[in-house]
Amino acid sequence: MDDDDDYAQARASMLAEITALVIFNCGRLGKAALNRRVLEALGEVPRHAFVPAELQACAYADTPLPIGCGKTISQPFIVAVMTDLLDPRPSDRVLDIGTGLGYQTAILSRLAKHVYSVELIEALALAARMRLARLGCTNVTLRVANGRQGWPEQAPFDKIIVSAAPQEVPPALIDQLAPGGRMVLPAGPPDHQQLLVLDKAADGSVSQRKVFAVRFSVLEDTAPR
C-alpha cells in the first residue's frame, strides 16, 4: 500500500482546501493556521490506503466516506482540526477511541510516542491493523473493546481523542486523562453535537470549551450485528 504518486496532486489539493477552511473558521478555532507538524503528517499519510478500494478515487475529497459496518472515515478538515486541537507531542502517549480503518491513528503515530487505539467492531479493527502494519506504524497498539471504557491498563494518557460521539463525556475517559492532559471529542445528542476540548489541570480539575457544531457516528456500547 505504497504512497502512490498518482495521488500526489489530490493530496496537495486536500491540504490547500484544509488551509482555506481553517482561515475561514479562524474565529471559532482561535487561529488562522494549523501546526506545521500536523500538516506534514496529513501530507505523508495516504488517505486512499484507509478507504475501500472502490472509493479510493474520492479519498482526498473533503467529505466523510463509508468504510463498512455502517461507519465512516471523517472528512479531512475535521481530522486536521481535531489533531491540531489535540496538540500531540513527540513524548505523548495517546488514547485513540474509534479506530475505524486507522486513518486518524496513522496520523497520530507520526506525531506521538505511542498510540493506543480502541475499536468496537472487530472487522474494522482487523482491517485497520493490516493497513497500519503495511504503512509501518510500529508505535500503535490496537484492541477490540468498548471505547467508553478507555484502556485502563495503559492509563494515564497525555492525550485522548474520540472519533465517535457520546451524549456526554464518558467519566472513564476523564479519569484516564493525565493531569496536564487534553481530550478532544464530539459530544451531544445526534442533532446537536459539539466538538469539545477538555483540559485537565495539575490538580485534577477539568475545563471544557466548545469549538463548533459537528456530526459524528454515535459512540456505541456494543458492536452492531
- Among 13, 74, 109, 205, which one carries the catalytic annotation? 74
Residue pair 60/4 in contact (Cβ under 8 Å)? The answer is: no
By CB atoms closer than 10 A (0-12, 13-18, 19+), residue 55 is middle
The sign of the CA dihedral 145, 41, 110, 210 is: negative
**Catalytic status, residue 205:** no
CA–CA separation, 120 and 100 (whole Å): 9
Query: What is the C-alpha separation between 123 and 158, in angstroms, rounded?
Result: 28
C-alpha cell at 17: 482546501
Among residues 46, 101, 96, the alpha carbon closest in space to that of 68 is found at 101
Report the DSSP beta bridge partners of residue 206: 200
Write the CB contacts of 182 (distance below 8 Å, at least 6 apart in sequence).
85, 86, 87, 158, 159, 160, 197, 198, 199, 200
**What is the DSSP-derived secondary structure letter of residue 207?**
E
Residues recognised as catalytic: 74
